[in-house]
Amino acid sequence: MGEFSAVRPGTDLPRHARELRRVHDAVLAGGRPPHAPRALVERSWSRVLGLGLDPGRANARDPLPFDEVERLRRESPLALIVDELLRLADGLLLVVTDAGGVILWRAGPSALLRRADALGFGEGADWTEAAVGTNAIGTALVEAAPVQLFSAEHFEQAQHAWYCTAHPVHDPRTGELLGIVDVSGPALTLHPAVGALVETGVRLAEAQLWRHHTDHLDRLRRSAAHVIAAVRGPLLIVDDHGWVAAADGVAARDRIGAPRPGAALGVPGLGLCLPERLAEGWLVRPAGAQHALRATLDLRASPVLEVRGGSAPWRTPLTRRHAEILSLLAACGPAGLTAAQLSGRLFGDADHVVTVRAEVSRLRRAIGALVATSPYRLAEGVSLRIDRG
């Protein structure tokens, strides 16, 4: 039968459902079942029992407020293709969740929607294993794989009247999990083709996401054509997430770090760059001598770093620890400090290398590539003045 399919073609569904109920009741009561559940189901039941959920009642549903669901919908990349996904419903109950297992969209016949409402299977509900026990959505999230469950393979008895078939949707650019597509219905209506239907829908959705991505970069490239023509020297045109739409004079990767206003970026092939906002996207080019970055660390009160060299100054608060690290790196000059040496300056010994690396990583997330690594030092083209009052 395999890990994915819950039933073989030709299975007597009522009989199989009765057998699974006996297995479910025996296993969860600590007895000896007539046969072992599928390995996938056994793993999930073990996890859920460890969480202390009760199979005899409806565990926590507590849907999110409508405004929060709307926010999650707006922020989800799946919003771009959800209409195509929901068209798969066509007589079936279909839901789309976010990467955390919260149901964001739902479509299907009104009778099935009413039955789903009674189960708490609606927009804003959390359908992770931790919330509602073994179910295709939550188990697919844990297993990082498609999951189909039939009848009493579900943990909660209230879900035994259902089948569900869930398939993860991934960002075709990065492989990042975006959410789950699930088709559910009355258990005794399960058809072997449902799994193939869901898989095909997800593959088409991922292909559509890729087309949206390439179309977006094409539009960005066209909108920045006048900038590319006017700027001398190597450059990149990137979107808000760092995806490269155009490159001139440099062998470009598909993606660089996400630009932020005033924050320096270290870009392979370009060195230290200060991204410049365009009407759409960003222009990324080497800071260069004419764009030297002048930073001031103000220690007269709570530490604040101000950076000049782009179109406008950029300021950000720093922690005392990060201000101390910047001060030490400025004092040591181009030679820089190893993690062990910086540990010695900060803590008096070389035993805090892991802590130092974590702190510098957090500092670089706050101020970009103003700090170079291997060894730690101020990046080339960056000057730092410290104002102690």
Quick: pLDDT tens for 165-213: 999 999 999 899 999 999 999 999 999 889 999 999 999 999 999 999 9
What span, in angstroms and rounded, lies between the C-alpha atoms of 45 and 203?
A: 29
Identify the pLDDT of residue 257.
83
Identify the pLDDT of residue 306.
86
Q: Which tokens in the block code for residue 27?
A: 């296993």
Identify the pLDDT of residue 70.
97
Please report which confidence band the pLDDT of residue 2 belongs to, taking 50, 70 and 90 as the band edges.
very low
| pLDDT, average across residues 295-321 | 82
Identify the pLDDT of residue 61.
76
pLDDT tens digits, residue range 127-139? 999 999 999 999 9
Alpha helix positions (H), 238-386 = 320-332, 339-347, 353-367
Residues 6+ apart with CB under 8 A from 11: none
Residue 272 has pLDDT above 90, yes or no: no
pLDDT tens digits, residue range 36-89? 999 999 999 999 999 999 998 877 678 999 999 999 999 999 999 999 899 887
Q: How many CB atoms lie within 10 A of CB 18?
A: 12
| pLDDT, average across residues 239-259 | 89
Identify the pLDDT of residue 68.
97
Identify the pLDDT of residue 250.
82
Residue 18 has pLDDT above 90, yes or no: yes
Residue 263 has pLDDT above 80, yes or no: no
Of all residues in the chain, the percent with pLDDT exceeding 70 is: 96
Q: List strand residue ranges (DSSP E) for 36-193, in order.
A: 93-98, 103-107, 147-150, 162-170, 177-186
Identify the pLDDT of residue 122.
95
Residue 381 has pLDDT above 80, yes or no: no
Sketch out the chain's domains with CATH numbers. 13-214 (3.30.450.40), 224-289 (no CATH), 292-387 (1.10.10.10)
In terms of Cβ atoms closer than 10 Å to its own Cβ (0-12, 13-18, 19+), residue 320 is exposed
Q: Which tokens in the block code for residue 319?
A: 């922690």
Mean pLDDT in the chain? 90
Please report which confidence band the pLDDT of residue 3 belongs to, taking 50, 70 and 90 as the band edges.
low
Higher pLDDT, 4 or 358: 358
Identify the pLDDT of residue 287.
74
Cα separation values, 198 from 21, 56, 88, 137, Å:
26, 30, 8, 13
Identify the pLDDT of residue 171.
95
Cα separation values, 77 from 81, 99, 315, Å:
8, 11, 31
Do you know the residue count of the chain? 389
The DSSP letter of residue 174 is T
